[in-house]
Chain A
Amino acid sequence: MLKFIATRLLQAIPVIFIVITATFFLVRAAPGGPFDDEKVVLPEVKRALEAQYKLDLPLHEQYLAYLSDLANGDLGPSFKYPGRSVNEILFSGLPVTAELGFYALMIALVIGVLAGVAAALKPNTRQDYIPMTLAMIGICMPSFLLGPLLVLVFGIYLEWLPISGWGAIPGDKILPSITLGAAYAAYIARLSRAGMLEVLSQDYIRTARAKGLPEWKVVTKHALRGGLIPVIAFLGPAFAGLLAGSFVVETIFQIPGLGRFYVQAAFNRDYTMILGTTVFLSTLIVLFNLLSDITAAWLNPRLRAQFKGGA
């Protein structure tokens, strides 16, 4: 197990390094400097600006300077919002996005696991077909369509819920969280159904039933642990997906989170902001993948044994 964690950690470091390097050079290779589309900038002013942002140095020195700043946790200044650093902007958006992501994930987990387990307990009955058809719709209905539709129905026609903002009006967190969580609820329902079906056909479940354990205890004590491994393994990729989804959801609902900042930075060609956000989000994603892999391995006795044996 320790060996497994160590291997995965060692794998994560080059990944993060590749991300930083690739992002840095991609952004620098972009056509047009960050100050090119300002109205008219005097040549001296432009030179001063470039010196301030170290753009006058040779590329490799810029890269080394960036790496050393990064090692100190400094993501640099924002090109478009003078006086604000990327760190400040990121940390003002992070709590908002984290909260949104957390609600979405909770919705996805609770609805997804309940629906999936219910379906797996009575396969090929109505209790299976209805949630699984809904799950298929959830997968095929992208958030950028679901969000506006929910706004249209619950915000505009029924006037039950506010249609934008975050934390300003009571209830304004409901629609964004559902919009972001729905697709993951659908995936998790399918995964937990498949996982539970496989586990429920195993011998140890038959043993548990044979010794007279009540069904709910068989499910909660014996089946869930194995049946939900695929769900836990999915949480890593889901985290990456939730972050990408927050781009769309925060844009639709005008939420001042990381996702919206990233999209705005992309449109403004705010290179330091893009660079900083990419590095930051990528590192988060890599770490989350790592965490979910380790948890899934730890829950799986077969994998655990394999790594104990050093295979």
Chain B
Amino acid sequence: MSVSQPTNESTAVLADAEQGSSLWHDAWIRLSKNRMAVSGGIVLIFMVVVALLTPWIAPYDYEVQNLDLGAQPPSLQHWLGTDVFGRDLLTQIMYGGRISLAVGFIATAVALSIGVTWGAIAGYVGGRVDAVMMRLVDILYALPFMIFIVLLMVVFGRNVLLLFLAIGAVEWLTMARIMRSQVQSLRQQEFVEAAISLGLSPAAIIRRHVVPNALGPIIVYTTLTIPSVMLLEAFLSFLGLGIQPPQTSWGLLISYGAETMEEYPWLLIFPGLALTITLFSLNFLGDGLRDALDVRGSKD
């Protein structure tokens, strides 16, 4: 993961943004021509709608077991089959998706708000404050966070709220760097100088002039952060350190599926498909947005 540097291209894009909504309009047209990104977006919307409506549209009750039925392969009654307790797999995947998506979106939102605020302040105030704030980011960057999250989950028990916070606290660093470099290049623009000379407070300038203009790279990076957060959650849940029963998530379903895959391979394959398709869509959408908004090197 590297960080976008302020480049001539990005300033050019930002200069375009001053001329009303044409940037967003152009970006929209470019995005809608990118077939992979559009399909990604559609799949994603579908997943989110299903997740939101799950309690009403799930074919079976989440907790109902049918031990006589046991694990059955896909059939007309149970489209994706059932698990060893006779629970409907489609229902499990729908409820698991709610948690997986929620972790992805909420933890990313946590990261977004910390990172944008931090980066905006550092970039706007500059000088010694900036040096101290960004040095802190550098130091945190070097910490092996994967191991730290595992440690946190072990020490403070495995609860979802902590998972959100822990993941969010890791992912804000890149966001802060991106925001800072955006703000630094924006600060020198004439319209910001004009706003300063009109006596606007720094907070108002950041809110009204800086953040809206730095939106492109932030949107792109946000879209690419969600899949990496979801992957992290699934990774922890697979190890038994993330989401705990009776709740479920795609990572947890995959870990159960892997235990019994010899006899019941569908228990591994369908949750795996759900996770992979979602990550695929998010990555394609993110790549498409990056091309459409002409943001360079915000990831990889």
Contacts and interface: CB of A to CB of B under 8 A. Distances in A.
Interface of A: 11-12, 14-15, 18-19, 22-23, 26-27, 29-31, 136-137, 139-142, 144-145, 147-149, 151-152, 156, 187, 190-191, 194, 230, 233, 237, 240-241, 243-244, 247-248, 251-252, 262-263, 266-267, 269, 274, 278, 281-282, 285-286, 289
Contacts of B138: 11
Interface of B: 1-2, 138-139, 142-144, 146-148, 150-157, 227, 231, 234-235, 238-241, 251, 254-255, 257-258, 261-262, 265, 268-269, 272, 275-276, 279-280, 283-284, 300
B272 A145 contact: yes
A266 B150 contact: yes
Contacts of A147: 258
Contact of B280 (A136, A151, A289): A136
B276 A274 contact: no
B151 A148 contact: no
Nearest to B269: A149
A19 B143 contact: yes
B211 to A, nearest CB: 28
Nearest to B1: A237
A296 to B, nearest CB: 10
Contact of B234 (A18, A19, A144, A187): A144
B229 to A, nearest CB: 13
A251 B236 CA distance: 13
Given A140-B280, A145-B272, A266-B154, A248 B238 contact: yes
Nearest to A293: B142
Given A18-B139, A29-B155, A30-B154, A156 B234 contact: no
A17 to B, nearest CB: 10
B217 to A, nearest CB: 17
B147 A282 contact: yes
B146 A240 contact: yes
Nearest to A275: B151
B150 A136 contact: no
Contacts of B234: 142, 144
A262 B139 contact: no
Given A142-B231, A144-B255, A12 B142 contact: yes
Given A136-B280, A252-B258, A285-B144, A23 B151 contact: yes
Contacts of B279: 139-140
Nearest to B251: A144
Contacts of A269: 154
Contacts of B151: 23, 26-27, 266, 274, 278
A1 B55 CA distance: 60
Contact of A286 (B144, B231, B251, B258): B144
Contacts of A26: 151-152, 155
B147 A187 contact: no
A286 B142 CA distance: 6
Given A19-B144, A26-B152, A30-B154, A144 B254 contact: yes
A145 B254 contact: yes
A248 to B, nearest CB: 6
A67 to B, nearest CB: 18
Contacts of B261: 148, 151-152, 156
Nearest to B257: A148
Given A152-B261, A248-B235, A145 B144 contact: no
B240 A267 contact: yes
Contacts of A19: 143-144
Contacts of B275: 142, 145
Contacts of A230: 2, 300
Contacts of A282: 143-144, 147
Nearest to A266: B154
Nearest to A143: B235
Nearest to A183: B231
A151 B260 CA distance: 12
B297 to A, nearest CB: 8
Given A247-B150, A278-B147, A286-B142, A148 B155 contact: no
Nearest to A195: B300
A266 B241 contact: yes
B155 A136 contact: no
Contacts of A278: 147-148, 151
A18 B135 CA distance: 14
Contact of A289 (B142, B262, B269): B142
16 contacts: A30-B156, A136-B280, A140-B227, A147-B258, A148-B254, A149-B268, A149-B269, A152-B262, A240-B146, A241-B146, A248-B235, A266-B241, A269-B154, A281-B147, A285-B147, A286-B144
B146 A244 contact: yes
Nearest to B153: A266
Given A144-B238, A147-B258, 4 more contacts: A26-B151, A140-B227, A241-B146, A266-B241
Given A144-B255, A240-B144, A247 B231 contact: no
A140 B276 contact: yes
Contacts of B255: 144
Contacts of B262: 152, 156
Nearest to A270: B154
B300 to A, nearest CB: 6
A240 B1 CA distance: 13
* Closest A-B pairs by Cβ, 9 of them: A244-B146, A148-B258, A140-B279, A30-B155, A285-B144, A144-B238, A145-B272, A266-B154, A15-B142
A102 to B, nearest CB: 19
